[in-house]
Amino acid sequence: MKKLLLILTAAVASGTLMTSCFKGLGGVGGEVTGVYGRAYDEPQPYGMVLVKRGSMEVGAQQGDSLWNDLPEKKGITVDAFWMDEKEVTNAQYRQFVQYVRDSIIRERLADPSYSGIDEFKIEEDKYGEPVTPHLNWSKAIPWRRPNEDEQIAIESVFKVNPVTGEKGLDAAQMNYRYEVFDYKAYAQRRYRMNPEERNLNTDVATNWDEEIIITKDTAWIDENGNIVRRTITRPLTSEWDFVNTYIVNIYPDTTVWVNDFANAYTEQYARYYFSNAAYDNYPVVGVSWEQATAFCAWRTEFLKRSYGMRGIRIEPFRLPTEAEWEYAARAANNEQTFSWKTNMPHTERGCFDGNFKPGDGDYSRDGYIITSPVGSYSSNDFGLYDMSGNVSEWTSSAWSEAGVHQASDINPDYEYNAAKEDPYRLKKKVIRGGSWKDAEHYVRADVRTWEYQNMPRSFIGFRCVRTYLGTNKGVANITKSQAKKSKKSSSKAAKAPKAQRSASARSVRR
C-alpha cells in the first residue's frame, strides 16, 4: 500500500510538473479546445505582387493546325504565392555580382597572406566565445586611400585586358557558394533514420541492418581555382546527408549576343548591355538556369540577414514552377492564350501589348529592337508585366513532353535534379513566355519550350516567386453573393458579446 501511494504521489507530481510547462491550457482537465498561435500575415515583399490561390485549365485550349499544336488542357490548382511584378533587371542582378565581389575582397582583407585585418571576419561573440567564422559586413572596405596591402587585396578581383588596356571585374572569380537542404528527399519514408518508420506494413519484419544509400551534390574549388562538382553516393548517416552544396560562377555571359546571332553586328550589346547604366532597367540576360537558381538562394539569405537574430521564418525565393508561371501569366483565365486578354498582339489602335518580333525581319514595330525596359507595356489582370514577350523566363520545372500531365493536379511540379554525370538530354528546363526575338505564336502564355540548364541566352531572363505564408490575403476570389453573405455574418458577429466574438475569431485561424 505504501508503494502504491508513492507511485500515485509521483504521478500527481509529474502531472503538476507537466501542466506547469504548458500554461494557458485551461487547467488540468476539461474539454479539448485547442492551442492557437498568433495569426500572421507576412509583409508584401518589395517589387512583388500576390497571386491568389485558385484553379484553371493549363495548356492549349484549342488545336493549332498551322503550328501542329494539339489541345492538351488539364485542370490544376495552385496555392497563393508572391511573384516579381517585373523581370529581374540588370541593376538587380548587378547587386548580386557586387555582393560576391565584396565578399571575396573582405575574405582577402582578413587573410594574413593579404592584409590580415581581423575586423573583417568575426570568429567570436561579444563574450569572447568562439562562433562559426563569418564576414563582418559592418566593416567598410577601404575603397579610398587603402594602404599597400589593402590595395593588393582590393585589386585582386579586377583584371586588365592586355589588348585594350580596359580594367574590369575578373568574371572568373565571381563564384557563389550556397547550400540547399533537400526537404523532399528528407521527407520520404524510405530515408527515415529509424528503420521501423521506413515501412509501416506490420507484416514485413524490420531490417535493422539495412544500409540506406543516398545521393547528394557537392562542390569545391580545386588548387587551380576551378569549380569541381560531383554527385556522390554513400550510406545514410545523418540529416546532413540531405544538404547539397553548390558553387556557381554567377557573372552573366555577356558574349551571348555574339554567340546567339551569327553574321550580325551585336558586339555593342556584348560590351555594354550588362555594364552600362543605360540598360539598368532592362531584364538581365546571359544568365543560365543554374545562375538564376543561385540568385534566388542569395536573395533569400540577403533578406534573412536584414532580420538579424530576431528574424521571422520566411519561405525561400525560388523560380516559379511551370504551372505557377502559366497560372499567373494567364491570370487564371481559361480563355486567355496571351498574358493580355485579346487574341491579338496589339490593340485596335495598333499599340502593341508586348515586345516580340511583329513581322518577318521586323523587330522595331513594337517600339524596340532587342529587349525593352521592364514594365514598358501594360500589366495583366494580376498586375504582372512582360509575362508575354521581352525575355523568355526560366521555371524550376524539368522538361518533359508530357508537361503538367506528368505532375499532380495540385501545385503541379515535375522536378528532376540532374547530376553532373547525367546525359545532357536530362538537363533540360522549361522556359515560358517567348521573347523579343520570337514570332507571335511563341509569346503565347500556353506555349511550352525548353533550354539546357547551363545554357545562357540573350533572350532568356527570369523572375522570382515565394510561397505565400498568411491567413487572409491569399484567399481565392469570391463571388458577390458570397461576399454579401460574408458581410452579413461579420455584421452579426460584431453585435455578439466580446467573449463569443473572441471564440469565433479563434475558430477560423489557420
Q: What is the pLDDT of residue 25?
A: 52
Which residues, 6+ apart, have CB-to-CB distance to 458 below 8 Å? 256, 257, 260, 261, 266, 269, 285, 286, 370, 437
Q: What is the pLDDT of residue 38?
A: 75
- Compute, in degrees rounded to 10, the torsion defined by CA atoms 285, 289, 292, 293: 180
Q: What is the pLDDT of residue 510?
A: 25
Q: What is the pLDDT of residue 362?
A: 86
User: Are the C-beta atoms of residues 221 and 175 closer than 8 Å to each other?
Assistant: yes
User: Are the C-beta atoms of residues 375 and 47 closer than 8 Å to each other?
Assistant: no
Q: What is the pLDDT of residue 125?
A: 79
Q: What is the pLDDT of residue 13?
A: 42
Question: Rounded to whole angstroms, what are the CA distances from 264 to 259, 278, 369, 456?
Answer: 10, 22, 13, 18
Quote the CA–CA distance of 274 and 281 in Å, as a whole number: 10
pTM for the structure as a whole: 0.85
Q: What is the pLDDT of residue 287?
A: 98
Contacts 24+ apart (CB under 8 A), 476-482: 476/52, 476/53, 476/54, 477/52, 477/54
Q: What is the pLDDT of residue 27?
A: 61
Q: What is the pLDDT of residue 26?
A: 53
Backbone angles phi, psi at 369, to 5 degrees: -90, -50
All residue ranges of the chain with pLDDT < 70 are 1-27, 39-40, 62-71, 309-312, 344-350, 471-510
Quote the CA–CA distance of 355 and 365 in Å, as a whole number: 9
Q: What is the pLDDT of residue 492?
A: 44
Q: Which amino acid is at 65?
A: S
Question: Rounded to whole angstroms, what are the CA distances from 200 to 190, 197, 208?
Answer: 10, 6, 14
